[in-house]
């Protein structure tokens, strides 16, 4: 490299890989979160619903939520999105490490956009069906587990967009 030449490094694919890794972490935390909906004496996650009895010695009683169709559908959509994200992450990681970078980026982007659609459908279905089927007598809110699901979806979308960028066009001698 001479004095007048400059080397431009564009780490878009590494940033995209980091976004996908963060999406996987957030997705795992959202799936395992005990708090998707909370109220004063009520807590709902993807796996169980708990309510506290109001007596002299209050106790929490929990039962499985896998008996409701919409909750099973939400869980299946979220797990399918997480699996698609994991596959995209593994393909991107192997592609970057082996040096065959450009060959598999379109596949990774398609996997990530598929995961975004699956996750978004699940995250829209969940509050609609919850509000439609559950009448709580007290104030309730969608809690941090639900928010982590949206955070994972946003990072998946960002990773998919970054994997779609064609940075090889700008690496000619003119630039």
Give the Cα-Cα-Cα angle 54, 56, 61 (nearest 5 degrees).
Answer: 45
Dihedral (CA of 131, 136, 142, 146) sign: negative
CATH fold for domain 12-51+61-167: Butyryl-CoA Dehydrogenase, subunit A; domain 3 (1.20.140)
Q: What is the pLDDT of residues 73-130, one digit of tens each?
A: 999 999 999 999 999 999 988 888 877 666 788 889 999 999 999 999 999 998 888 8
How much is the pTM? 0.82
Task: Return the pLDDT at 18.
Answer: 93
Contact predicate 20/88, CB 8 Å: yes
Where do the structural domains in the chain lie, given as residue ranges?
12-51+61-167
Q: What is the pLDDT of residues 3-44, one digit of tens each?
A: 565 545 568 888 989 999 999 999 999 999 888 888 877 888
Q: Angle formed by the axes of helices 105-133 and 69-98, to 10°?
A: 160
């Amino acid at each position: 490299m001479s004095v007048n030449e400059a080397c431009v490094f564009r780490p878009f694919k590494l940033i995209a890989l980091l976004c996908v890794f963060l999406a996987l972490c957030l997705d795992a935390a959202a799936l395992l979160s005990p708090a998707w909906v909370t109220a004063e004496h009520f807590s709902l996650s993807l796996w169980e619903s708990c309510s506290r009895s109001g007596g002299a010695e209050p106790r929490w009683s929990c039962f499985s939520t896998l008996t409701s169709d919409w909750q099973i559908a939400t869980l299946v959509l979220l797990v399918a999105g997480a699996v698609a994200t994991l596959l995209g992450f593994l393909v991107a990681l192997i592609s970057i490490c082996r040096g065959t970078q450009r060959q598999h980026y379109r596949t990774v982007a398609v996997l990530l956009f598929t995961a975004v659609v699956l996750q978004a459908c699940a995250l829209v279905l969940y509050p609609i069906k919850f509000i439609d089927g559950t009448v709580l007598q007290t104030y309730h809110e969608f809690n941090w587990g639900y928010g982590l699901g949206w955070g994972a979806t946003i990072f998946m979308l960002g990773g998919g967009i970054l994997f779609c960028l064609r940075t090889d066009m700008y690496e000619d001698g003119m630039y």
